[in-house]
Structure 1
Amino acid sequence: MKFEYVLLGLLARRPYDGYELRKWLETEGQFLWAKAHHSQIYRKLVQLETQGWIRHETDVREGRPDAKVYRLTERGHHALREWIRSPYEPSTRLQDIDFTARFSVTAPLDREAAVELLRTELAYRRAQIAKNRNRDRTLLYEDPAPGLDQEVDREVHESLHRLGAGAMDYWVDWLEKSLHRLTGGKTTG
């Protein structure tokens, strides 16, 4: 997942200055991208402008420093659409940032691509469940370290398995509901 597509997705909605982008990423965007330092944001904006994917206008502000307000260009929109339609490879990690960022950008711009993204993620998670849900989780001990409490160890591992299974079930349910909403209930295809 490349950070530039998160920025392009935001700029597809409206123009932003760097400060507004940073604030959005720290609040509403906290589940879409890891915390971005302001220097990372500004470096990426310069790079995107150099590529011709965005442009800026100076917003003259009375009594405050002027701000560069960035807008998506036609070339940037094209690059964003290419990324949206590019193949998606699910991560082994549940609720990976690549999926959440990609889905948040894709759904409002290309419903068909968002449906395909959901189907890909859902198929991958269902396969993970089929492979791992009922696997043998027996912990084997051979010459364990002194003080290792095997009963607590088994209890903790089983508890973590239930937590992970519950999180996976919740995620799959969310994927199914999202797919249902985007397809109007027509989930085949």
Structure 2
Amino acid sequence: MKFEHVLLGLLARRPYSGYDLRKWLETEGRFVWAKAHHSQIYRKLAQMEADGWVWHEVDSREGRPDAKVYRLTERGRDVLLEWVRAPYEPLTRFQDTDFTARLGVAAPLDRNAAIELVRTELAHRRAQITKNRNRDRSLHYEDPLPGLDREIDAYVHDSLHLLGARAMDQWVAWLEQTLLRLTAGSDRKD
């Protein structure tokens, strides 16, 4: 996922000024993209405008600096939909920001692309569970450091595995529920 996809996804919902984009990224967006400096946002908006993906109009503000308010162009919409519909390759770690950001944009714009995205993620995570859930997790020691507490090591090792397994199970349950919701009425015209 590229930063411009995040910005295009936001602009698909409504026009934003650079300042408003920064505020969103600092609050709700912190789970989608690492903190973005305001200069990075403005540089990316300028590049996107030069590429014909967005355009701006000046919003005159009494007693404050004027603001550039950005909107998507048809080309920007096409670029956004190309990303939404592009093949998705799940990463090893689940709850990846590329998946969550793409789903957040795909679901309201292209339900079929969102369904395919969730199906791909779900199949990948189920395969991971099948492959890894019951593997031998025995710890083997050979010349361990003096003072290494094997009992604590085993406890922490097993409890971290259990924590990860529960998180994965919760993720899969959420994916299944999301897929049900997306496919319910998926034959309707939006």
**SS class of match (2:94):** coil
Q: Which letter does structure 1 place at the counterpart of 2:56? A: H
Query: 1:106 is aligned with what amino acid?
Result: A
Distance across 1 between alignment mates of 2:124 and 2:77: 29
- 2:21 maps to 21
1:64 aligns with 2:51: no
What SS is found at the alignment partner of 2:136?
Answer: coil
Shift of 1:185: 7.8
Aligned-pair identity in percent equals 75
- Once the 2 structures are TM-superposed, how far is the Cα of residue 180 of structure 1 from its aligned partner? 0.2
Q: Which residue of 1 is the match for residue 33 of structure 2?
A: 33
Aligned residues between the structures: 186
Alpha-carbon RMSD across the aligned residues, in angstroms, is: 1.1
Partner of 1:42: 42
Distance 2:115 2:136 in 1: 34
Are 2:130 and 1:125 equivalent residues in the alignment? no
**Does the 8 A contact of 1:48 with 1:54 survive in 2?**
yes
Contact 1:31/1:100 (<8 A) preserved: no
Q: Which runs of 5+ in 1 are unaligned?
A: none
TM-score by length of 1: 0.96
AA at the equivalent of 1:149:
D
* Alpha-carbon displacement from aligned partner over 1:140-174 (angstroms, at most 9, x marks no partner): 10000121111111110100000000000000000
Q: Please give the alpha-carbon distance, in whole angstroms, between the structure 2 residues aligned to 1:148 and 1:36.
A: 42
Q: Say which SS state the counterpart of residue 22 (structure 1) adopts.
A: helix
The AA in structure 1 aligned to 2:109 is: L
Q: In structure 2, the residue corresponding to 1:57 is in which secondary structure?
A: strand
CA contact (8 A) 1:54 1:72 kept: yes
1:141-152 to structure 2, matched below 5 A, reads: 141-152=141-152
Give the aligned residue type for 1:165.
A
Please name the residue that 1:116 is paired with.
116
Structure 2 gaps, min length 5: none
Shift of 1:29: 1.9
Return the alpha-carbon distance in structure 1 between the equivalents of residues 76 and 37 of structure 2.
Answer: 23
Aligned to 2:82: 82
Runs of 4+ in 1 over 2 A off after TM superposition: none
Structure 2 partner of 1:183: 183
Residues 78-102 of structure 1, C-alpha deviation per residue, up to 9 Å, x if partnerless? 1111111110000101101110111
Q: How far did 1:30 drift?
A: 2.2
Read off the aligned partner of 2:15 and give its amino acid letter: P
CA–CA separation in structure 1 for the residues paired with 2:158 and 2:96: 23
